[in-house]
Amino acid sequence: MHAVIRRYRATPEVLREARPKLDHLERTMRDIPGFVAYYFLQTDDGVATITVTEDEAGADESMGRAARWVQENLQSRNQLSAPDVTRGQALIGAMRAAGAAPAAPATGTRQ
């Protein structure tokens, strides 16, 4: 599997404009060949996305689709920085099993 993390500095206006369009963005990313997962995060200084695909070709495709989606769907794109991109091959992946209860919060202090 391959992953691409894109971090953008953005004004609150970008997020306000993007929120009602996130279903469309999700559909755009789900159509990538080899799609595994996609996350859109609100961060302290903007937004970040994480795309996971089965192979490098899917990761490459996600970069183009993300750029096109921003150009075609965000009028406030001039308030969005160019992405800081991190990409690579996943060496390990771990997820909670389907239907499993969430883990209990950690208690105590770490030493």
Residue 84 parent element (H or E): strand 84-89
pLDDT digits over 37-69, tens only? 999 999 999 999 999 999 999 999 999 999 999
Tell me, letter by letter, the H, E, C secondary structure of the chain. CEEEEEEEEECHHHHHHHHHHHHHHHHHHHCCCCEEEEEEEEECCEEEEEEEECCHHHHHHHHHHHHHHHHHHCHHHHHECCCEEEEEECCCCCCCCCCCCCCCCCCCCCC
Alpha carbons 5 and 50: distance in angstroms, whole number: 5
- Residue 95 pLDDT class (50, 70, 90 cuts): confident
Round the average pLDDT of the chain to a whole number and report it.
Answer: 91
